[in-house]
Structure 1
Amino acid sequence: METAQGMNRSVKIFTTHELLFIIGIIGISFSSIFVRWSEADVAVIAMYRLYLTNLLLLPFVWKYRSSMFRLSARQWAWLAASGIMLALHFLLWMASLRLTTVASSTVILTLEPVFVMIGSYFLFRTKANRMMLLGMGIALIGSIVIGSSDFGLSPQALLGDLLSLLGAAAVAVHMLIGKELRKEVNAFAYNFWVFLFAATALAFYNLVKGNAFGGYSSKEWGIFLLLAIVPTLFGHYLFNWLLQYMKAAAVSMSVLGEPVIASLLAWMLLKEPLTGYQLGAGLFILFGVWLFIRYGKEKEPAGA
């Protein structure tokens, strides 16, 4: 009886994490739409997105206030590094949305798990099994197809593609650092400090660039708030929390679902064209993500 109850609890926990994972994918898919709706500089958008997120998190982190400051110098340094990489990701990727299509920008982000896997191999000697590689391969093929019709040949579009690529590399580094820090730092504390470091880094960038910190319309503030709630709290925050239950490479695969939903939203809300090839490729992506999460497990490092 006790064994059966334990199995039921395990199934329930797995189902809850899977559901939260799906919610996170939907949440981050709205990010590109909100950025496109805003007329503010992308660095300002990202800065207020993160600062407002921390304001919303204050009630949850308050009870951890005493332990949040009892961190080692090494932990503070890695929190700052993770925050700076997250800030760089937002800055580069949001800038790409001003230069290329939503489909092209988001599809390039699907290379993030490749960067994560490469980083995991060199840093932790982590290897992937065949099912992980198969799922990733299927999803990446679908991702390439879904954005192929939108890849532009103009210098502006190519610059947007490059910025998205660099943004994918930056967030992969952020994910790898977070995977290790989450073993030592509470989830609420980790997210709060990383978001604060990221927002502050962007604030310095805005100060140097001369961007205005105020004078924005109620519409702009509404967009900043929506970005804090939908793709950040119900997207990136969920993924950071899930790092304690899922592999870093598995959590990073969430970006493969984003081009599907983001492209559909861009088609409906921004009137960007969406072809049958993109719709068909979307099914490939979803199948690849499901295959990776359902059957993929990272192998233990060599010599473990």
Structure 2
Amino acid sequence: MRSPAPTVAALAVAILAVSSSGPLIAFAAAPALAIAFWRNGIAAAALTPFAIGPRRAEVRGAVRNCAGVFSVLAGLALAAHFATWMPAVQLGSVATATALVATQPVWQGLIAAAQGRRPSAAGWVGIALAVAGAAWATGADVGVSAQAVAADVLALLGGIFAAVYTALGERARTELSTTVYTWICYGTCAVVLLAVCLVFGVDLGGYDGRTWAAILAIVAGAQLLGHSMFNYALQHTSATTVSVLILLEVPGAALLAWWWLDQVPRADALPGLVLLLAGVAVVILRPASFKVIRR
């Protein structure tokens, strides 16, 4: 069954919003872990009146059932995702880090297979085309420098943790509203990242006005619009489909980094972008690409 119009719109807004994340992180003159804390902490604070106000009963219920547990676990996975991918953006290039974290659908497909929802042949073709396109478009930094290699490894780990986060969120969203799930998840993520920052002495303040503006833009765009819209979509479509559509962040972030940060994409990357978009098109145009297969 095709996704309803509100879900399609939510996914479109989310993709546009998360595409700005990499360039803003690279632009901000602040430690990546601090940015990760602030984006989740501010977002959780903004959602608090809506979560503990009209949805107070739902929050109390979440504390007593598995949905709340899955929300907390999703928050832990999200913290691990941000703690790996965001430093990768600052250590390497926006395009490369974004492309490597876009391997998320591969791990998501394996998670779905373990849950008895193996991607069909068309689904695997879409994943293969999209990931191959992302790799072709941006390449890898292996052999360039030790810092570039570290960035690649961190971005790849970020993709794995993102898949775990999305899968856990899909389970939680079967019982919880977007507001309550997002509040618990972001709050958990912020607490974990705050602890990490304090333990390792990461500077949480003293930034200039442009950096704070970038952090607030990340909160409003990538966090509240981007991740929250993806969380909404998880109630209406599969985690694997969401993960593949997130691949559209790769060309979006690359174009923004080109326009804003002068990170000019290579001419030989264009065929890769075509492959990536073709893979996403397979998923969108073949709604049965990710079907439930009973074992």
TM-score (norm 1): 0.90
Distance 1:291 1:96 in 2: 29
- CA deviations over 1:184-233 (Å, ceiling 9, x no partner): 22221000000000001000001101123333333222122111111112
Structure with max Cα Rg: 1
Consecutive unaligned residues in structure 2, runs of 5 or more:
none
Distance 2:268 2:203 in 1: 42
| Aligned residue among 137, 147, 156 for 2:138 | 147
Q: Is the 8 A contact 1:112 1:169 kept in 2?
A: yes
Taking the TM superposition and a 5 Å limit, the aligned residue runs for 1:1-304 are: 14-61=4-51, 62-71=53-62, 72=64, 74-122=66-114, 124-148=115-139, 153-297=144-288, 298-303=290-295
Distance 1:271 1:53 in 2: 29
Distance 2:268 2:190 in 1: 38
Q: Is the 8 A contact 2:141 2:152 kept in 1?
A: no
Distance 1:228 1:152 in 2: 34
AA aligned to 1:91 is: A
Question: Number of paired residues?
Answer: 292
AA aligned to 2:44 is: N
TM-superposed deviation, 1:238: 0.5
Distance 2:174 2:140 in 1: 42
Consecutive unaligned residues in structure 1, runs of 5 or more:
1-9
Distance 1:299 1:285 in 2: 22
**Cα separation, partners in 2 of 1:261 and 1:151, compared to 1, 3 Å:** farther
Among all aligned residue pairs of Structure 1 and Structure 2, give the percentage whose two residues are the same amino acid.
26
Distance 1:289 1:236 in 2: 19
Larger CA deviation: 105-114 vs 48-57 = 48-57
Q: Is the 8 A contact 1:100 1:152 kept in 2?
A: no
> SS where residue 32 of structure 1 aligns?
helix
RMSD between aligned alpha carbons?
1.9
